[in-house]
Structure 1
């Protein structure tokens, strides 16, 4: 069952951010747009390339009012150790959440139970804590953070313009659609 349109469930977890351990809860995601990027494991192969790519786009996300969080089932101590030794991960300034209890991965229905790791999944969450978009790929397929930018812009536009929708390949400033009986069969 899809989680799109559903409110996120409560959680509390430790995280690593900018050289410090912090606590993060579901409440921290409210009041702003958020991206949760689940990945299988620290000290792996595809994962650091994805997290570095998110960092490369982090300033653009922040300009859009979006906070980025990465999430794996590794502990916050492992996140710090990875940050200390990996050139790609050393660049990261967004919050790296530990889901060592698997609570968050279960809440978002991305835990691979028999392996104890999360799937490669991305969630776009609105300021009310409602999931607006989900992307899940197979373990060997890395994601491209640049594809999230137009999704964020479309989700923000639709939220701010009730009654309008964004067509395929919509770019900021382009025409939108106003669903009505008059449009049926004319597109």
Structure 2
């Protein structure tokens, strides 16, 4: 079943962010745009490349009014240890949420039960707390932060303007006003 339009349920999770342990709840995702990015595990191979890319785009997400949260089934303690030892992960300024029980991974339907790991899932959540876009990858396929950013920008544009964004749309490009006159003309 598709997750589009699903409202995020209540949750409370420990996270590591900027040298501190903090708590993140579902309330933190409401009232602003959010990007929740699941990855399988700390101290692995593809994950640090993805998170480094996300860290390098973090200011662009913030400029769009979007907070970024990374999530794995590791604990917030493991996130801190990884942050302290990896040059790539030291670049991260967003919250790294620990999901050792898998509650969040199950909520977003990315949990691999047999392995206790999350698939690579990227979710864009609107200010009302509803999923408006998502993409889930197998463990070996890395994602690109610029594409997640583009999807965020498109989701915001659609919500603000009521127009739709064609393939390869970027801010400033022409959007489409869906009308009966366009049916069969594109």
TM-score of the aligned structures, taking structure 1 as reference length:
0.97
Name the residue aligned to 2:103.
Answer: 103
Matched residue SS, 2:49: helix
Name the residue aligned to 1:42.
Answer: 42
Name the residue aligned to 1:128.
Answer: 128
Q: Where do residues 167-186 of structure 1 align in structure 2 (5 Å cutoff)? A: 167-186=166-185
Matched residue SS, 2:3: coil
> Which aligned runs of 4 or more in structure 1 are off by greater than 2 angstroms?
none
Q: Where do residues 124-163 of structure 1 align in structure 2 (5 Å cutoff)? A: 124-162=124-162
Aligned partners of 1:60 and 1:174: how far apart in 2?
18
Deviation (angstroms), 1:121: 0.7
Name the residue aligned to 1:117.
Answer: 117
Name the residue aligned to 1:12.
Answer: 12
Number of residues paired by the alignment? 186
Q: Is the 8 A contact 2:150 2:170 kept in 1?
A: yes
Matched residue SS, 2:21: strand
Q: Is the 8 A contact 2:74 2:99 kept in 1?
A: yes
Deviation (angstroms), 1:7: 1.0
After superposition, the C-alpha distances for 1:23-49 in whole angstroms (9 at most, x for unaligned) are 100110101111011000001110011
Name the residue aligned to 2:3.
Answer: 3
Deviation (angstroms), 1:150: 1.5
Name the residue aligned to 2:164.
Answer: 165
Q: Is the 8 A contact 2:122 2:148 kept in 1?
A: no
Name the residue aligned to 1:82.
Answer: 82
Name the residue aligned to 2:27.
Answer: 27
Gapped regions of structure 1 (runs ≥ 5): none
Aligned partners of 2:173 and 2:81: how far apart in 1?
45
Deviation (angstroms), 1:136: 1.0
Gapped regions of structure 2 (runs ≥ 5): none
